Each structure stands twice: as structure tokens, then as C-alpha cells.
Homo-oligomer: A and B are copies of this chain.
Amino acid sequence: MVGRRVWAIAEGYIPGRSFSDQRELISHEAACILNATETPASIEITVYSTDRGPAGPYRIRIDPQRTRHLRFNDLSLSDPEPIPRDPPYSSVIRSDVPVIVQHTRLDSRDPHIALLSTIAFPAET
């Protein structure tokens, strides 16, 4: 089975500005999560801040053999509380089946966008 059940992303920063309001060009961060198993994945995301206790867990579900590029920006829609723009944060992602997680940011404060990406940290357990 390809993946791990616990992942962490130490970086986290959603720029408060965007030059465009097109969804694909709004400043955002994503946790790209692949569930390559034959089983639905129930996932809980806990978000850590600099100066107060963790928020969450935010819950999502990913169908078997599907991927989800989850925007941290969108965690505000139906979950405990939105992730504020500009303050730094981190996240821990727990799944009941093995998944793979990659972290990506698109920064469009300037019209000439910048990107970053990294594999998340795969925890041992």
C-alpha cells in the first residue's frame, strides 16, 4: 500500500492579497492528497498557529483511487473556523488509510506569480 497515515506540513502562509480574483490565480495553499487505495479515506486536518491553540480537526473524505487538491483557503467554508490570511500556520493530516501528501503555494500578490512545493513530512506511524 503506497502512503502513510500521518503527515505534517510545517510551512503555511496564505498571502492576504491577490492580483486576480480568478479562482486559479488567487493566492492559495493546497494540500494535494492522493488516496491510491481501494478504500475511502477519512481525513482529519489540525491547523497550528503561532499564538493560540490548534484549530480543527477539519474533516474531509477522499474516495478510493481519487486525488484531492484541497485548498487551505477553502477550509473556511463549512468547518470550525477559517484559516486567517497572512499569519503563519502549520498542519498535521491524519488519515485512516495510507495516503500521499504534497504541499503547494501559489503567491499572486504580484501578477507574475511565484510557486513553491514540497513533499509533506511522512510520519512514522
Contact = CB atoms under 8 A, between A and B. Distances in A.
Chain A, interface SS category = strand
A111 to B, nearest CB: 7
| Copies of this subunit | 4
B10 A32 contact: yes
A67 interface: yes
A10 B89 CA distance: 21
* Chain A interface size range: 35 or more
Interface string A92-125: 1000000111111101011111111111111101
Interface of A: 2-3, 6, 8-13, 24, 30, 32-34, 36, 46, 48-51, 53-54, 65-69, 86, 88-90, 92, 99-105, 107, 109-123, 125
